[in-house]
Structure 1
């Protein structure tokens, strides 16, 4: 996929007759290692929004700031600089997206087919005149939908402004949230025909007891939060407990995105949480208080296999979590088998060592699928998904 990014915060300038907003944007891949190079120019829409109040209600009113002269992204472009007049109403947020709906990823059903929803829109709060503070974050918005019907409020995920790969959304997270919506929000409840990963589907659809799910390397939290949102919309009598983990420097953004969900999660605050977990500690069985407090039914990770230096401690952490869960469930008089779901966009051949390390540690692949990745200026990129269970 490609992502529209603010290169720097939007800047509002006041003039005698009107105010304007200055924007510098780019369109790149999730790692910002390649600019969009479309065969045909892509026109963009810049849409502001302001709040209008009447009869005690508030409504967000969109205003197309580029209706008469849409900016265009062409092959070879590295950045677009825009200076757009603002309407008299106080614009609160701004959205940049492709003018073509077919090219825009607005819902999970846009992403999963792999042939549309090729570019993710970006949103940012507008700086307030006289405030002197520019926004440091932007956010993505994705409607959760299945069968053509939207479910609940859109999923919003905050990320840092700019082009660095840290604290940004990556491809596998978006694809997995789209798959989860398809699995869990399908009104037929089907887990077999036409659905990938039937064993994983069955686990999510199970009504026997609440699931305990731990995410490794959560980043900004797309997978864990998306999983919590989708499962809350499934209206099950059992609320899963989801613990997102990553290095300490990821905590601020992960917690900000948990807070951004507001009241959209049906469960209480205990249903979704964060705790730091360094895999170098995890491989030695050193877990935080929250990670050590439960036996885990499922461990999930997205886009965590790209750095081969971290793969040995990652695999050992997975095995340590399995052993910990087995001990806790045995002490409680039951038995639990920890499944591991891995979603990865293959980026280089050296990542295959992950599967060798998993095999050496007696992790077996129970099922797998390959999901197409939407891409405008090329093809053949995929997200691979594997469900593992440990032997013995």
Structure 2
């Protein structure tokens, strides 16, 4: 997939007869390690939005800022600069996406099975002219829609995930998180998909037919796409037990993860999943040292996305997974009903050395229960995919 990125915050400048907004953007991969190089130019549209009070309530009104000749991203570009006139109404947010809807990842149904949803739109709050403050973050928006859920209108508001402006790989959305949220929407919101048609029937069964509210822990959550998406999706599903979800990462990830948790306020339905964050360093986890929240309960499912790219961290990661399994099996609450911890791993392989992860898992007694390969929407270059594995302990 490719992502439209703000290279710097949008800048509003007062002027006559109208104010303008200056935008500098790029279109890159999730790690910003290569630029989109399309065979044909990709026309873009910039849409602003302002609030209008009508019929007793506030409504968001869109307005296209790129009227006439739309800007285009072409092969060989590294940056695109725009200077766009603003309407008289105070624009609060802007969205930048491909003009062709078929190229745009607007909803989870666009991402799978990897044929459209090629480019993710970007959104940002607009600064006020002369206020001296520029936004330091932007956000992505992905409508949680799948099959009969969308038709029934229960998909609710889009999932919004905040990330830092710029092209650094830290505090950004990565491909595997987007693919997994899309797969989860299919599994949990589309009842027309039977178990035999699911790419991961065992994992689907774990999510769909729990005997108790599932206890799910995410390792290396980053900005929180997977865990927060899981909370939103399971809350939208009618009936069933809402899970307890704990997302974890190093302490420096907490601010962004909590900011994205806060964005879900009021959007978790009538029976919301319980969602929380706690710092967890795998160097502590490998020794069975967990924080109060991680230690408070056994865990039915541990999930992680795009956590195998750094081979130096793989030994403590695998030992942390095994320590969580032992912790769950020995937890006082599981004396009468033993707990079995399954591990779901989603990864877009970046280099061959990541395969050592599977060797380490096998050495620690983990076996692959099921697996699948999900194609990524790719506009240029070779095909790409996300590999998904469900692990369990041998003999459990």
The TM tier, using the shorter chain, reads over 0.9
Q: Deviations over 1:36-57 (max 9, x none)?
A: 0001110000000001102221
Q: Please, which of 246, 250, 254 is the counterpart of residue 251 of structure 1?
A: 254
Q: 1:388, 1:269 → 2: CA distance?
A: 27
Within 5 Å, which residues of 2 pair with 1:300-311? 300-311=303-314
Quote the residue 2:91 is aligned against.
Answer: 91
1:88 Cα deviation from its structure 2 partner = 0.5
- After superposition, the CA RMSD in angstroms is 1.3
Q: Deviations over 1:2-30 (max 9, x none)?
A: 00000000000001211000000000000
Q: Please, which of 218, 225, 230 is the counterpart of residue 228 of structure 2?
A: 225
Q: Deviations over 1:210-233 (max 9, x none)?
A: 000000000000000000011001
Contact residue 4 and residue 122 of structure 1 kept, 8 A = yes
Contact residue 191 and residue 201 of structure 1 kept, 8 A = no
Give 4+ residue runs of structure 1 displaced > 3 Å after superposition. Answer: 267-270, 329-332
Q: 2:270, 2:219 → 1: CA distance?
A: 22
1:208 aligns to 2:211 (yes or no): yes
1:268 Cα deviation from its structure 2 partner = 7.4
Quote the residue 1:317 is aligned against.
Answer: 320
Quote the residue 1:44 is aligned against.
Answer: 44
SS at match of 2:288: coil
1:297 Cα deviation from its structure 2 partner = 0.1
Within 5 Å, which residues of 2 pair with 1:1-392? 1-147=1-147, 149=150, 151-188=155-192, 190-266=193-269, 271-328=274-331, 331-392=334-395
- Report which stretch shifted further, 323-332 or 111-120: 323-332
Number of equivalent positions? 391
TM-score by length of 2: 0.96
Contact residue 231 and residue 273 of structure 2 kept, 8 A = no
SS at match of 2:160: strand
Contact residue 235 and residue 271 of structure 2 kept, 8 A = no
Call closer, same or farther: CA 1:295–1:191 in 2, change over 3 Å.
farther
Q: Deviations over 1:235-255 (max 9, x none)?
A: 234110000000000000000
Q: 1:185, 1:133 → 2: CA distance?
A: 40
Q: 2:171, 2:272 → 1: CA distance?
A: 23
Contact residue 254 and residue 279 of structure 2 kept, 8 A = yes
Gaps of 5+ in 1: none
1:207 Cα deviation from its structure 2 partner = 4.3
1:330 Cα deviation from its structure 2 partner = 6.3
Q: 1:236, 1:324 → 2: CA distance?
A: 30
SS at match of 1:193: helix
